[in-house]
């Protein structure tokens, strides 16, 4: 009866360990972080075999060495490698010595032969070199006895590493035992699952790296077209993630239920990197238009030439008696004043008043003789339209060309077969020009129709543009100037009010400034004077 009870107890224990093994396999398949994955594998190996210590080795790319990845020793309270932050101070184990297979070490033999090694006592075992183990024991006072080394073979039948456990412990007395056949079989099963999980994680990581490299390739192409957008493509994703983390910390208002998982973070990061991918189709002469008259070159110099022609004609009129010296001097002063005024208008850095527009229209009617000797207006229709742009350097048509990039962005992103964990990328990336009041573009969405991620990307996009120093048409604004404009945008229903408050309250603007802004832009901000913000 007692023997039957012992057998039942042993069977129950084995069933429990099998159940643990199944649960562990499911958990390994869902872990995204490679360091946590490796730690979970070693923890699981120790748990199902009740081992006191263990090491996980991975083969290097050339399959020449086994690299220490994770090392645990419960009795000595040692945790090295992985997420511990403590590097493992041991040299890799060579799989080959002088061109010959190294079968002297337990783990190298397991890796080379593909066979499990189960040793009852390292101090009396023969056939392997345990000098390193004995040095470790002598230094730490530990006693390595039973050893179980299992090769990790992936789905392609390639050995990618070795799991080595030390000192199986009796679950009651804690005395050191030999690893049993059940231990060995369970660990071999775990090692197989672990190898597949590691290979899958590596494959996924390689695919993610390739995907991000392709994104970088697109942004590089945009950068090569225009140096004024390359920095923007790099900075907006960073600021987006900074504001997202701040929103994640906030537990006020509608943001109290906003939480980011690691998958959410990756999805938003990808959206940030791709938010302006449509600019790859935007004509360079529009993106780089630094002045109102710029095309292939700045046509303001043509106006200088025409003014010189008018000055010449005025001098001829004076010399031929058609105008007095005073009239000549007055006309020269007027032309010089007109030149200075037109150069200022051409810069587009200030909003034009009605009086300024009227003056440009008056100058446009000046008559001069062109290269063909024909009388013509001083400004042609295109020059007049450009010089009377009320703000900035773009005409309404050119602004539409710029704005079309977001339509292209959405079209490009929606055409891709996104996996489930990235399915929101088109929405996040395509929403950064929408407004909370529904007056944005391209879809005219309102706040309640947009996700938090899309709304916060809009703030990041605007603030980066305000503070950017590498734009051809403006200087980078100071923090105070930028936050004031952002505050007006909040009051006018342009940006999300709660996220704007988080942006200020959590000092996201300051963290960003310290990383990307010039010192002269980082002025002392009085938050009490920011429009729309109540500290």
The predicted structure's pLDDT at residue 74:
94
Per-position b or e across 437-451, b if 16+ CB within 10 A of its CB:
eeebebbebebeebe
Nearest alpha-carbon partner for 483 in 453, 519, 509, 518: 509
Decide: residue 11, CB within 10 A, 0-12 exposed, 13-18 middle, 19+ buried. Answer: exposed
**Are 435 and 455 spatial neighbours (Cβ–Cβ below 8 Å)?**
no
The Cα–Cα gap between 190 and 184 comes to 10
CATH class of 226-286+397-529: mainly alpha
Structural domain boundaries in the chain: 2-204, 226-286+397-529, 300-393
**Are 74 and 53 spatial neighbours (Cβ–Cβ below 8 Å)?**
yes
The predicted structure's pLDDT at residue 5:
45
Q: Which residues of the chain, if any, have pLDDT below 50?
A: 5-6, 8-10, 14
The predicted structure's pLDDT at residue 19:
57
* List of E strands, 62-182: 65-73, 78-81, 93-94, 96-97, 100-101, 117-119, 147-153, 159-169, 176-177
SS3 content of the chain, % helix, strand, coil (to 5): 55, 10, 30
| Level-2 CATH architecture, domain 2-204 | 2-Layer Sandwich (3.30)
The Cα–Cα gap between 69 and 81 comes to 6
**Are 38 and 69 spatial neighbours (Cβ–Cβ below 8 Å)?**
yes
Nearest alpha-carbon partner for 342 in 381, 379, 394: 379
Question: CA–CA distance from 522 to each of 478, 483, 508, 513, 514 (Å)?
Answer: 6, 12, 13, 7, 8
Decide: residue 100, CB within 10 A, 0-12 exposed, 13-18 middle, 19+ buried. Answer: exposed
The Cα–Cα gap between 264 and 245 comes to 11
Tens digits of residue pLDDT in 327-338:
999 999 999 999
At residue 153, φ and ψ (nearest 5 deg) are -110, 125
Its pTM stands at: 0.71
**2-204 and 226-286+397-529: identical CATH topology:** no
Residues sharing a CB contact under 8 Å with residue 258, sequence separation 6 or more, in sequence order: 247, 248, 250, 452
Question: CA–CA distance from 235 to each of 218, 240, 286 (Å)?
Answer: 15, 9, 21
The predicted structure's pLDDT at residue 351:
86
Residue 426 CB neighbours (<10 A):
20
The Cα–Cα gap between 443 and 461 comes to 18
Residue-by-residue DSSP string for 199-240: HHHHHHHHHHHHHHHHHHHHHHHHHHH-HHHHHHHHHHHHHH
Q: Which two tokens stand for residue 258?
A: 């906003």
Residue 95 CB neighbours (<10 A):
22
**Are 71 and 88 spatial neighbours (Cβ–Cβ below 8 Å)?**
yes
Place of tokens 């002045």: 291
Q: Which two tokens stand for residue 149?
A: 């080394």
**Are 391 and 348 spatial neighbours (Cβ–Cβ below 8 Å)?**
yes
Place of tokens 């080795």: 57
Chain centre to alpha carbon of residue 356: 44
Question: Is 331 in a helix, a strand, or coil?
Answer: helix
Place of tokens 């075999």: 49
Torsion sign across C-alpha atoms 491, 493, 498, 504: negative
Per-position b or e across 392-405, b if 16+ CB within 10 A of its CB:
ebbbeebeebeebb
Q: Which two tokens stand for residue 442?
A: 């391209």
Helical ranges in 34-180 per DSSP H: 34-49, 106-113, 131-140
The Cα–Cα gap between 233 and 287 comes to 14
The predicted structure's pLDDT at residue 94:
95
Asked whether the bond before 346 is cis by omega within 30 degrees of 0, the reply is no
Place of tokens 């964990």: 421
């Amino acid at each position: 009866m007692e023997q039957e009870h012992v057998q039942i107890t042993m069977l129950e224990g084995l069933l429990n360990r099998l159940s643990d093994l199944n649960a562990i396999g499911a958990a390994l398949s869902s872990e995204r972080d490679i360091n946590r994955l490796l730690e979970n594998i070693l923890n699981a190996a120790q748990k199902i075999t009740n081992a006191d210590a263990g090491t996980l080795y991975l083969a290097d790319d050339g399959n020449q060495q086994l690299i220490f990845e994770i090392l645990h020793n419960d009795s000595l309270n040692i945790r090295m490698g992985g997420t511990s932050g403590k590097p493992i101070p041991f040299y890799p184990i060579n799989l080959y010595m002088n061109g010959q297979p190294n079968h002297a070490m337990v783990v190298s033999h397991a890796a080379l032969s593909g066979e499990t090694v189960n040793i009852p006592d390292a101090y009396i075992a023969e056939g392997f070199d345990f000098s390193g183990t004995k040095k470790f024991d002598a230094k730490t006072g530990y006693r390595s006895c039973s050893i179980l080394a299992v090769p990790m073979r992936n789905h392609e039948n390639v050995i990618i590493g070795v799991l080595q456990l030390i000192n199986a412990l009796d679950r009651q007395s804690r005395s050191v035992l030999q690893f049993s056949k059940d231990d060995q079989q369970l660990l071999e099963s775990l090692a197989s699952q672990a190898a597949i999980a590691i290979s899958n994680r590596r494959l996924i990581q390689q695919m993610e790296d390739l995907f991000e490299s392709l994104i970088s390739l697109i942004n590089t192409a945009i950068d090569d077209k225009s140096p004024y957008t390359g920095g923007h493509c790099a900075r907006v994703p960073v600021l987006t993630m900074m504001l997202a983390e701040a929103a994640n910390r906030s537990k006020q208002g509608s943001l109290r239920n906003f939480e980011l998982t690691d998958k959410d973070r990756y999805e938003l990061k990808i959206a940030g990197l791709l938010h302006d991918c449509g600019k790859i189709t935007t004509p360079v002469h529009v993106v780089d238009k630094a002045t109102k008259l710029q095309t292939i070159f700045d046509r303001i110099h043509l106006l200088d030439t025409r003014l010189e022609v008018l000055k010449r004609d005025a001098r001829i009129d004076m010399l031929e008696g058609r105008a007095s010296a005073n009239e000549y001097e007055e006309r020269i002063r007027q032309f010089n004043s007109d030149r200075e005024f037109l150069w200022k208008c051409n810069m587009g850095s200030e909003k034009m008043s009605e009086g300024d527009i009227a003056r440009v229209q008056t100058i446009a009617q000046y008559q001069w003789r062109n290269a063909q000797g024909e009388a013509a207006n001083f400004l042609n229709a295109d020059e007049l339209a450009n010089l009377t742009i009320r703000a900035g350097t773009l005409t309404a048509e050119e602004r539409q060309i710029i704005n079309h990039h977001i339509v292209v962005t959405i079209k490009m992103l929606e055409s891709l077969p996104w996996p489930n964990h990235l399915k929101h990328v088109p929405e996040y990336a395509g929403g950064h020009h929408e407004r909370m009041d529904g007056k944005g573009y391209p879809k005219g969405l309102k706040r309640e129709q947009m996700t938090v991620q899309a709304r916060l990307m809009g703030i990041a996009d605007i603030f980066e543009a305000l503070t950017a120093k590498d734009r051809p048409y403006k200087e980078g604004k100071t923090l105070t100037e930028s936050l004031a404009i952002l505050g007006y945008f909040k009051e006018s229903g342009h940006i999300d009010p709660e996220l704007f408050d988080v942006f200020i309250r959590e000092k996201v603007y300051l963290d960003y400034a310290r990383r990307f802004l010039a010192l002269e832009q980082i002025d002392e901000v009085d938050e009490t004077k920011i429009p729309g913000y109540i500290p």
